């Protein structure tokens, strides 16, 4: 039993339909077929070979009954004119019930088994009351189908910017997603008005050659890489993917368009971040004048906070003096009512106060010398 690929319905559904063994149909033949939706008019596209069926995703099933006769053509024309009146009636009921939906199209199946209503809506719509009233009005089964903006263009659009009928209404059985990455790779204009189709989304034709561009791009060095050519070293600043050419800038800043086959090798290019970090590290090491900072990373901070050696007291009290200097530098400078302040006296007082707090002898606070380690040492020497 021969099978054929048949297109039917306003959504241009593709189905693999069988026929009688004695019947033969050519491409473009108008037929009457029985599908899961009922009796429909369709168009034969080709024989259902394995290669053809493998390209169709979830094809419909059914059976071809006969060729369309003149009476069938007249009946089909009468039904299309009747659909306009039925569409207006549906709009009246939608407005009367107050549903937030936009009717797009109405399809009356050839055999009269059902009426399919296509609509747009942002949210889910409770159309049970609408279906009851329409079923009572038309005395047939009512089917509501929510669609998107692309399906709306498939139903209503005629011609595209190229001057030919829109793809979704001719040869496309499904509409895969299209991204801006496809337009950028093909160097298409990024003007939304020029790369958008009748549906307001990116054109489906941007996807047709995308896989070819991806394959050809693998044979070209990326933009920004350093390459070695027969004429010397250069940097890639542009590519012509389809032509297989690259635009390079040589060391003398001259630009030349060469074929990708002239590239001898692609040199590894240092990333900008690593180069910036290296330059920053080199400049920091050159500006460092303290030799101790090369051996100890924390010595530069200690050197900045430590006073000169001639200002430190000798002996065991040097450590206490250095610790008190660090704590004094960390504390905020006290406010003074006078603009002239003796800084040496202030440092001496702060050091003396810190030494008394760092005293180890707990009984020093009860002595008449106030617990000062210097006075304690002098007393011990006198004794």
Q: What is the 3-state secondary structure (H, E, C) of the chain?
A: CCEEEEEECCCCEEEEEECCCCCCCCCCCEEEEEECCEEEEEEEEEECCHHHHHCCCCCEEEEEEEECCHHHHHHHHHHHHHHHHHHHHHHHHHHHHCCCCEEEEEEECCCCCEEEEEEECCCCCCCHHHHHHHHHHHCCEEEEEECCHHHHHHHHCCECCCCCECHHHCCCCCCCCCCHHHHHHCCCCCCHHHHECCCCCECHHHHCCHHHHHHHHCCCCCCCCEEEECCEEEEEEEEECCCCEEEEEECCCCEEEEEHHHEEEEECCCCHHHHHHHHHHHHHHHHCCCCHHHHCCCHHHHHHHCCCHHHCCCCCHHHHHHHHHHHHHHCCCCCCCCCCCCHHHHHHHHHHHHHHHCCCCHHHHHCCCCCCHHHHHHHHHHC
Please check whether residue 205 is in contact with residue 167, taking contact to mean a CB–CB distance below 8 angstroms: yes
* Average pLDDT of span 54-63: 88
Strand-pairing partners, residue 43, are 7, 30
Which of 11-25, 191-205, 361-375 is predicted with the least confidence, judged by mean pLDDT?
Answer: 361-375
Please check whether residue 101 is in contact with residue 125, taking contact to mean a CB–CB distance below 8 angstroms: yes
* Average pLDDT of span 146-150: 90
Give the tokens for residue 13. Answer: 């559904």
- What torsion do the CA atoms of 332, 338, 340, 341 make, to the nearest 10 degrees? -40
Report phi then psi at 96, rounded to 5. -70, -40
* Average pLDDT of span 139-165: 89
Task: Give per-residue pLDDT as tens, 291-330.
Answer: 333 334 343 344 334 444 444 444 444 444 444 444 444 4
Report phi then psi at 175, rounded to 5. -115, 95
Q: Rounded to an integer, what distance in angstroms lies between the CA atom of residue 364 and that of residue 343?
A: 29
Using a pLDDT cut of 70, give the percent of the chain over it. 70
Predicted confidence (pLDDT) at residue 5 exceeds the cutoff of 60 = yes
Cα dist from 297 to 229, 278, 290, 300, whole Å = 45, 18, 11, 7
- What band does 160 get if pLDDT is binned at 50, 70 and 90? confident
Please check whether residue 238 is in contact with residue 273, taking contact to mean a CB–CB distance below 8 angstroms: no
Task: Give per-residue pLDDT as tens, 227-259.
Answer: 888 888 889 998 999 888 999 998 888 898 989
Q: Rounded to an integer, what distance in angstroms lies between the CA atom of residue 303 and that of residue 309?
A: 11
This prediction's pTM? 0.59
- What torsion do the CA atoms of 16, 17, 20, 23 make, to the nearest 10 degrees? -80
Task: Give per-residue pLDDT as tens, 89-134.
Answer: 999 999 999 999 999 999 989 988 899 999 999 888 999 999 999 9
Domain boundaries, the chain: 3-68, 75-147, 155-214, 219-267
CATH 2.40.160.40 fits 219-267, yes or no: no
* Average pLDDT of span 146-165: 88
- What band does 31 get if pLDDT is binned at 50, 70 and 90? very high
Strand-pairing partners, residue 256, are 248
Comparing C-alpha atoms, which of 114, 94, 93, 89 is closest to residue 10? Answer: 114
Predicted confidence (pLDDT) at residue 274 exceeds the cutoff of 50 = no
Comparing C-alpha atoms, which of 47, 53, 42 is closest to residue 13? Answer: 42
Strand order in the sheet with 114-120: 102-108, 114-120, 141-146
pLDDT of residue 268: 63
- What band does 67 get if pLDDT is binned at 50, 70 and 90? very high
Give the tokens for residue 139. Answer: 């005395």
Give the tokens for residue 71. Answer: 């009476």
Strand-pairing partners, residue 266, are 227
Sign for the pseudo-dihedral over CA of 141, 147, 150, 152: positive
- The CATH number corresponding to 75-147 among 3.30.2030, 3.30.420, 3.30.300, 2.60.34 equals 3.30.300
Predicted confidence (pLDDT) at residue 260 exceeds the cutoff of 50 = yes
- What band does 269 get if pLDDT is binned at 50, 70 and 90? low
């Amino acid at each position: 039993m021969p099978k054929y690929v048949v297109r039917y319905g306003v959504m241009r559904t593709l189905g693999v339909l069988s026929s009688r063994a004695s019947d033969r149909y050519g491409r473009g033949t108008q037929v009457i077929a029985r599908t899961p939706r009922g009796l429909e008019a369709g168009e034969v596209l080709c024989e259902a070979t394995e290669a053809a069926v493998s390209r169709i995703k979830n094809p419909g099933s059914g059976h071809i009954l006969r060729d369309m006769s003149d009476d069938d053509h007249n009946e089909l024309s009468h039904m299309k004119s009747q659909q306009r009146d039925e569409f207006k009636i549906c709009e009246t009921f939608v407005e009367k019930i107050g549903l937030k939906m936009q009717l797009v199209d109405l399809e009356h199946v050839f055999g009269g088994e059902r009426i399919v209503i296509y609509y747009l809506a942002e949210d889910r719509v409770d159309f049970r009351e609408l279906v009851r009233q329409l079923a009572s009005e038309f005395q047939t089964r009512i089917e509501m189908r929510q669609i998107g903006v692309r399906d709306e263009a498939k139903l209503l659009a005629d011609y595209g910017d190229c001057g030919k009928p829109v793809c979704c209404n001719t040869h496309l059985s499904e509409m895969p997603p299209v991204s801006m990455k496809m337009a950028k790779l093909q160097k298409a204009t990024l003007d939304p008005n020029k790369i958008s189709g009748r549906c307001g989304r990116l054109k489906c034709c941007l996807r047709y050659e995308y896989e070819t561009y991806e394959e050809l791009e693998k044979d070209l060095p990326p933009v920004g890489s350093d390459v070695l050519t027969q004429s010397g070293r250069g940097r890639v600043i542009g590519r012509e993917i389809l032509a297989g050419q690259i635009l390079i800038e040589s060391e003398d800043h001259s630009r030349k368009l060469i074929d990708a086959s002239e590239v001898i090798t692609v040199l590894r290019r240092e990333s900008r971040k690593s180069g910036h970090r290296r330059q920053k590290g080199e400049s920091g090491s050159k500006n460092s004048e303290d030799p101790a900072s090369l051996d100890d990373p924390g010595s530069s901070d200690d050197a900045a906070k430590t006073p000169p050696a001639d200002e430190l007291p000798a002996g065991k009290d040097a450590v206490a003096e250095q610790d008190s200097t660090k704590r004094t530098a960390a504390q905020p400078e006290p406010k003074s009512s006078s603009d002239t302040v003796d800084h040496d006296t202030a440092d001496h007082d702060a050091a003396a106060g810190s030494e008394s707090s760092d005293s180890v002898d707990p009984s020093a606070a009860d002595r008449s010398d106030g617990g000062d380690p210097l006075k304690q040492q002098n007393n011990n020497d006198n004794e």
